[in-house]
Structure 1
Amino acid sequence: MNTEFRKTLPGTRLDYFDTRAAVDAIKPGAYDTLPYTSRVLAENLVRRCDPATLNASLSQLIERKRDLDFPWFPARVVCHDILGQTALVDLAGLRDAIAQQGGDPAQVNPVVPTQLIVDHSLAVECCGNDPEAFEKNRAIEDRRNEDRFHFIEWTKKAFKNVDVIPPGNGIMHQINLEKMSPVIQVRDGVAFPDTCVGTDSHTPHVDSLGVIAIGVGGLEAESVMLGRASWMRLPEIVGVELTGKLQPGITATDMVLVLTEFLRKQKVVGAWLEFYGEGAAALTLGDRATISNMAPEYGATAAMFYIDQQTIDYLKLTGREDQQVQLVENYAKVSGLWGDSLKGAQYERNLSFDLSSVVRNMAGPSNPHARVATSDLAAKGIAGQWDNVPGQMPDGAVIIAAITSCTNTSNPRNVIAAGLIARNANKLGLARKPWVKSSLAPGSKTVALYLDEAGLTDELEQLGFGVVGFACTTCNGMSGALDPKIQQEIIDRDLYATAVLSGNRNFDGRIHPYAKQAFLASPPLVVAYAIAGTIRFDIEKDVLGLDAHGNEIRLKDIWPSDEEIDAVVKAAVKPEQFRQVYIPMFAIHEDTGPKVEPLYDWRPQSTYIRRPPYWEGALAGARPLKGMRPLAVLPDNITTDHLSPSNAIMLDSAAGEYLAKMGLPEVDFNSYATHRGDHLTAQRATFANPKLFNEMVIEDGKVKQGSLTRLEPEGQVVRMWEAIETYMDRKQPLIIIAGADYGQGSSRDWAAKGVRLAGVEAIAAEGFERIHRTNLVGMGVLPLEFMPGTDRKTLQIDGSETYDVIGERTPRATLTLVITRKNGERVEVPVTCRLDTAEEVSIYEAGGVLQRFAQDFLESATA
């Protein structure tokens, strides 16, 4: 630990590091121009780096040299049970590989404290009009996931530095915001800023607290767990000035949907954003958290707010200890992290957004940045005429209305607003339409406590929004089964059915197999659409119903005022509620159970947990990058949901057929996400999204939708999994050709693992989302980026070609993609090697993160 700049924090017995002095020692006066993010990164370096690395890295921060590698050292890792579990499955497999080479498997442990929260496996099988929905859903979750939970229980005992929050307690990001992040850490008598990486793209939720927290794939998290620095190119830090204030009746959801659209257009993919200005200063922490949570939807790596009085007020509200709250305030003011000390910060790019311009909004269909004002629904062709036939579902029927997701349920104003609109609707005799499957799944148990305190629980239950679980549910595609009669009507009438949810993702095919499209909306709007029953309803103008006197009721008649929402929040949300929930949840319990073996006893018949194959056969060998055939030629905006869906598994899918052969009843197929610990199931999810458009598959002059490809050289159109099996048998190396923004969405390892296991050695695209690109590198897949002006269309690629890659793989080198057409014509195309750092080159050349760590571990053990 560097001690040159160590000082004592006033008012405490704790030390801290004088980062201002360290920065100014390199360049006098530079500290005052650094953005907040750079100051936190600088503190991370001063605390952790040796003098040579410290000097070089601080120089990069000051000069903003983004062409150099930059290390930072996250203080902790947070995981949800899908990616977190698969990361731990990988570590368990690594232990096996180490043992087979004569090493001590018990020495393979996370070095960095790792918290795993089980929040992604609960499905809404029983919906919000069932008073026992929560208990029933939890029982189903335990039954279906017994293999997974058995493994997770083993990890608690087998690995050091791993703690587990069991199912039924809330969502990873909301728990992180409300409890886990101390904002300022204390270890060994030294205070320093909290930093973390999380195995989910929405980890920036706690950026709202002033904490650098970024989403990574499980592979990158594994590297951090095992004690390595997280290496990156020094990011572009963009200042986003928020001016004005929100208009009456406008929610934080409305605000973030407009910001998502705005920031996508400003091309902030991969950037680290800092929000500042009078508008930002006036936002509550809950509103800030809504913005930070949606960082992956606008493509940013981080979405930072600085520490100020709003931060302190929130820490008090959520029941943090007085001593900790005082430490955060003192530290921030002394170290230069308090908001008022950042007036001179200089950004590489400045953007400005007027909050007063925000109107009521939704997003959809299909993309979170496809924002539409509710006043424009008819003009956009979303709202319109429909046949209101008694006993039938209408066109555009809303079959799912879900208040869900940490994005919105971590903001008390949003949840209270939903409760108040339900109360007002009940008073006027309005009701949810019978075909709407409604649910309330808060990200924290505190939500249930303050809804009870406000007297709004019964009001929500009356409209069908009873608590179905404390988990991600619908936002993660865990919507559960529909009523069989409703499902059959959708099939028989080929009905355009939709979902409305207060989540952060609405990609095609994600929310439910029978919801053809989905729309994101604020919690109170979700309630309103449950009453309306169809997306064709003009929510601002149409009549929701009649009161007892025959008067027409519209949205404006039940929408609560801001003053009422704020008054209820002030009266009902209390620090003791957070203490009541979190003190027992995080109490340290000594494990008195029997010890476990350091090697996991893999269950051979499990379809959830299986020893990973990454050290075996071709995966452990070289990738020649020659003679590759395209598995797919894809358009822009391919998401990780296209690459590896998370929703329910259908019987007629490749994964469904496999599970049926393994003896699993269809009712317990569960989701693709829950089976990612078993590569034999998860492989069959690769490109299994029914909404995929593979440009190799043309029918009647158009690209045909579906999980399809064209087997070459035969030219036969087959299901994607059948082609993958055939190519694996032939040991045929593969490539994927794609458009812009390849790999948007969740930080899903299996979007990279699936293609690697299929034999994909390289992906050539116009551009990559950051997390997915690092996942590809972590699996030993080479990302290649076309030069501007060159793409699959200008090259007239149709999928019948073969491909070679020539050149030395160094950070961002120009390589040559050699395309050999079916007629023998040869085209040489310059592409950028998207191994961005020397660390990434090292990982790729080793075959991936796990292979590289195994090599290093055995070498160090031998030494």
Structure 2
Amino acid sequence: MNTEFRKTLPGTRLDYFDTRAAVDAIKPGAYDTLPYTSRVLAENLVRRCDPATLKASLSQLIDRKRDLDFPWFPARVVCHDILGQTALVDLAGLRDAIAQQGGDPAQVNPVVPTQLIVDHSLAVECGGYDPEAFEKNRAIEDRRNEDRFHFIEWTKKAFKNVDVIPPGNGIMHQINLEKMSPVIQVRDGVAFPDTCVGTDSHTPHVDSLGVIAIGVGGLEAESVMLGRASWMRLPEIVGVELTGKLQPGITATDMVLALTEFLRKQKVVGAWLEFFGEGAAALTLGDRATISNMAPEYGATAAMFYIDQQTIDYLKLTGREDQQVQLVENYARVSGLWADSLKSAQYERSLSFDLSSVVRNMAGPSNPHARVATSDLAAKGIAGQWDEVPGQMPDGAVIIAAITSCTNTSNPRNVIAAGLMARNANKLGLSRKPWVKTSLAPGSKTVALYLDEAGLTHELEKLGFGVVAFACTTCNGMSGALDPAIQQEIIDRDLYATAVLSGNRNFDGRIHPYAKQAFLASPPLVVAYAIAGTIRFDIEKDVLGLDANGKEIRLKDIWPSDEEIDAVVKAAVKPEQFRQVYIPMFAIHEDTGPKVEPLYDWRPQSTYIRRPPYWEGALAGARPLKGMRPLAVLPDNITTDHLSPSNAIMLDSAAGEYLAKMGLPEVDFNSYATHRGDHLTAQRATFANPKLFNEMVVEDGKVKQGSLTRLEPEGKVMRMWEAIETYMDRKQPLIIIAGADYGQGSSRDWAAKGVRLAGVEAIAAEGFERIHRTNLVGMGVLPLEFLPGTNRKTLQIDGSETYDVIGERTPRATLTLVITRKNGERVEVPVTCRLDTAEEVSIYEAGGVLQRFAQDFLESATA
């Protein structure tokens, strides 16, 4: 630990590091111009680095050098049970590999505190109109996931530094915001800013507190867990000035959907954003959290807000201890992290967004950045005429209306607004349409407490929005089964059915197999669409129903005023509610049960947990990058949902057929996500999304939609999994060719694991989303980026070619992609090697994160 700049924090007995002095010792006056993010990164360095590394790294921050490797040291790791569990499955497999080589498996442990929250396992099989929905859904969750929960319970006892929040308690990000993040950490008598990485792309939720928290893939999280610095190229830090204030009746959801569209157009992919200005200062912490949560939707790595009075007020509201709240304020003011200290901060690029320009918005039908104003629904062709036939669902039927996701349920104003909407609708005799599956799934149990306090629980239940879970549910594709009669009508009539949810993602095929498209909306708008029953309804103009006097009721007649929302929030949301939920949840209980073995006893018939194969066969061998054939040629905006879907498994899918052969009844197939601890099930999800467009598959001059590819050299079109099996039998190395923004969306490591197990050695794309690119490197797949002006179309790629890669793989080197066409023509194309740091080169050459750690561990043990 560096001690040169160590001082005592005024008013406490705690030490801290005078980062201003450390920076100004290198360049006088430089500290005042540093953005907030750079200041926190600098504090991280001062605490952890030796003097030589410290000086070099601080110089990078001061001069904004982005072409050198830069270390930082996250203080903790947070995981949900899908990626977190698969990371721990990998570590359990690593223990086996270490033991086989004569090492001590018990020495393989996370060295960074790791919190695993079980929040992604529950499906809404029972909707919110069933008063016992929560208990029934939890029972189904426990039955289906017994293998997974058995393994998770073992990890809690077998690994050091792993704590588990069991199912039924809330969503990882909301718990992180409301309780887990202290904002300022204290260890060994030293205070320092909290930092974390999380195995979910929405980890930036707590950036709203001024905490550097970024989403990473499970593989990168494993590296951090095992004690390595997180290496990166210094990011572009973009300042986003928020001006003005929201108009009456506009929610934080409307705001973030407008910002998402704006920031996507400003091309902030991979950047770290800092929101400031009078508009930002006036936003509540709940509103800020809504913005920070959706960072991956606009492509940013982080979405920071300064520490200010709003931060302090929120810490008090959520029941933090007085001593901790005082520490946060005192530390921020003394160290230069308080908002007033950042008036001279300078950004490489600054943007401005006027909050007063925001109108009521939705996003859809397929992307969260595809904003549409509710006043423009008809002009955009979303709202329109439909036939009302008694006993039938209409065109555009809303079959799912879900108040879900930490994005919105961590914001009391949004939830209270929905409750007041429900109350107003009930007073006027409105009700949900019978085909709409409704649900309320808050990210925290505190939501249920303050809804009870406000007298709004019954109002929501009356409209079908009873609490079905405290978990991710519909936002993660766990919307559960439809009523069989409704499902059959959709099939028989080939009905255009939709979903409306207060989530953060609406990618094709994600929400439900029978919801052809999905729309994001604020919680009160979700209530309105449950009443309307179809997306064809013009939500601003059309008549929702008639009151007892025959008067027409429109949205404006039931929309609550801002004054009433704020008054109810002030009266109903209380610190004791948060203490009531979180004190018992985080109470330390000494485990008095029997000790467990350091090696997991794998269950051979499990379709959920299986010993991973990453140290065996071809996966442990070299990747020659020669003679590769394309598995797919893909357009822009391929998401990780295309690469490895998370929604329900259908019987006629490759994974469904496998599970049926394994004896699992169809009712318990569960989701793709829950099976990611078993590679035999999970690899069958590779490119299994029925909405995939693989440009190798053309019919009547158009690219055919589906989980399809063309087997080469035969030229035979077949289902993706059958082609993968054939290529695996042939030991045929593969490549994927893609357009821009490849791998956007969720941080799931199986989007990289699946293609690696299929035999993919390289991916050549016009651009990569950050998390997916690091996941590819972590699996030993080489990311290659076409130079500007070059792409699959200019190269006339059709998938019949073979590919070689030539050149020395060094950080961001120019390599040569050699394309050999079917007629023998040879084309040499320069591409950028997207191994961005020396650390990534080392990981790639070892075959991946796990192989690299096994090598290092055994070498250090031998030494």
TM-score by length of 1: 1.00
- Name structure 1 gaps, 5 residues minimum: none
CA distance in 1, matches of 2:396, 2:687: 27
Residue deviations 1:338-366 (CA, integer Å, cap 9, x gap): 00000000001000000000000000011
Deviation at 1:166, TM superposition (A): 0.0
CA distance in 1, matches of 2:555, 2:129: 23
Deviation at 1:526, TM superposition (A): 0.1
Moved over 2 A (4+): none
Match of 2:673 in 1: 673
Deviation at 1:625, TM superposition (A): 0.1
Residue deviations 1:31-52 (CA, integer Å, cap 9, x gap): 0000000000000000001111
CA distance in 2, matches of 1:461, 1:395: 26
State the SS of the aligned residue for 1:248: coil
Match of 1:449 in 2: 449
CA distance in 2, matches of 1:606, 1:53: 47
CA distance in 2, matches of 1:634, 1:501: 28
Deviation at 1:83, TM superposition (A): 0.0
State the SS of the aligned residue for 2:519: strand
CA distance in 1, matches of 2:785, 2:26: 36
CA distance in 2, matches of 1:751, 1:351: 33
State the SS of the aligned residue for 1:631: strand
Deviation at 1:142, TM superposition (A): 0.1
State the SS of the aligned residue for 1:763: strand
Give the root-mean-square deviation of aligned CA atoms.
0.2
State the SS of the aligned residue for 1:530: helix
State the SS of the aligned residue for 2:615: coil
Residue deviations 1:165-220 (CA, integer Å, cap 9, x gap): 00000000000000000000000000000000000000000000000000000000
CA distance in 2, matches of 1:610, 1:707: 25
Equivalent positions of 1:146-225 (< 5 A) are 146-225=146-225
CA distance in 1, matches of 2:559, 2:152: 44
Match of 1:809 in 2: 809
CA distance in 2, matches of 1:707, 1:356: 44
Deviation at 1:777, TM superposition (A): 0.1
CA distance in 2, matches of 1:471, 1:708: 33
Count of residue correspondences: 863
Residue deviations 1:749-806 (CA, integer Å, cap 9, x gap): 0000000000000000000000000000000000000000000000000000000000
Deviation at 1:530, TM superposition (A): 0.1
State the SS of the aligned residue for 2:179: helix
Match of 2:707 in 1: 707
State the SS of the aligned residue for 2:811: coil
CA distance in 1, matches of 2:592, 2:56: 48
Residue deviations 1:37-83 (CA, integer Å, cap 9, x gap): 00000000000011111111000000000000000000000000000
CA distance in 1, matches of 2:207, 2:364: 26
CA distance in 1, matches of 2:366, 2:860: 49
State the SS of the aligned residue for 1:232: strand
Match of 1:782 in 2: 782
Deviation at 1:637, TM superposition (A): 0.1
TM-score by length of 2: 1.00
Deviation at 1:836, TM superposition (A): 0.3
CA distance in 2, matches of 1:423, 1:94: 54
CA distance in 2, matches of 1:598, 1:184: 34
Residue deviations 1:423-449 (CA, integer Å, cap 9, x gap): 000000000000000000000000000
Residue deviations 1:534-568 (CA, integer Å, cap 9, x gap): 00000000000000000000000000000000000
Residue deviations 1:379-437 (CA, integer Å, cap 9, x gap): 00000000011110000000000000000000000000000000000000000000000
State the SS of the aligned residue for 1:323: helix
Equivalent positions of 1:462-861 (< 5 A) are 462-861=462-861
CA distance in 2, matches of 1:822, 1:471: 51
CA distance in 2, matches of 1:645, 1:441: 21
CA distance in 2, matches of 1:598, 1:724: 35
> Sequence identity, in percent?
97
State the SS of the aligned residue for 2:794: coil
Residue deviations 1:787-838 (CA, integer Å, cap 9, x gap): 0000000000000000000000000000000000000000000000000000
Match of 2:434 in 1: 434
CA distance in 2, matches of 1:212, 1:33: 19
Residue deviations 1:509-535 (CA, integer Å, cap 9, x gap): 000000000000000000000000000
Residue deviations 1:213-251 (CA, integer Å, cap 9, x gap): 000000000000000000000000000000000000000
CA distance in 2, matches of 1:816, 1:477: 40
CA distance in 2, matches of 1:268, 1:69: 21
Residue deviations 1:660-715 (CA, integer Å, cap 9, x gap): 00000000000000000000000000000000000000000000000000000000
Residue deviations 1:624-681 (CA, integer Å, cap 9, x gap): 0000000000000000000000000000000000000000000000000000000000
Residue deviations 1:717-760 (CA, integer Å, cap 9, x gap): 00000000000000000000000000000001000000000000
State the SS of the aligned residue for 2:67: coil
Residue deviations 1:448-468 (CA, integer Å, cap 9, x gap): 000000000000000000000
State the SS of the aligned residue for 1:788: coil
CA distance in 2, matches of 1:52, 1:620: 37
Match of 1:342 in 2: 342
Residue deviations 1:562-592 (CA, integer Å, cap 9, x gap): 0000000000000000000000000000000
State the SS of the aligned residue for 2:677: coil
CA distance in 2, matches of 1:668, 1:450: 34
CA distance in 1, matches of 2:712, 2:193: 54
State the SS of the aligned residue for 2:487: helix
Match of 1:273 in 2: 273
State the SS of the aligned residue for 1:151: helix
Residue deviations 1:10-44 (CA, integer Å, cap 9, x gap): 11100000000000001110000000000000000
State the SS of the aligned residue for 2:242: strand
- Name structure 2 gaps, 5 residues minimum: none
CA distance in 2, matches of 1:770, 1:827: 29
CA distance in 1, matches of 2:269, 2:856: 33
CA distance in 2, matches of 1:10, 1:458: 50
CA distance in 1, matches of 2:316, 2:2: 33
Deviation at 1:116, TM superposition (A): 0.1
CA distance in 2, matches of 1:388, 1:655: 39
State the SS of the aligned residue for 1:595: coil
Residue deviations 1:268-312 (CA, integer Å, cap 9, x gap): 000000000000000000000000000000000000001000000
Equivalent positions of 1:130-149 (< 5 A) are 130-149=130-149
CA distance in 2, matches of 1:817, 1:155: 43
State the SS of the aligned residue for 1:452: helix
State the SS of the aligned residue for 1:366: coil
CA distance in 2, matches of 1:662, 1:405: 33
CA distance in 1, matches of 2:524, 2:58: 47
CA distance in 2, matches of 1:158, 1:350: 48
Match of 2:44 in 1: 44
CA distance in 2, matches of 1:345, 1:224: 30
State the SS of the aligned residue for 1:85: helix
CA distance in 2, matches of 1:23, 1:95: 42
CA distance in 2, matches of 1:267, 1:358: 20
CA distance in 2, matches of 1:296, 1:696: 29
Residue deviations 1:587-621 (CA, integer Å, cap 9, x gap): 00000000000000000000000000000000001
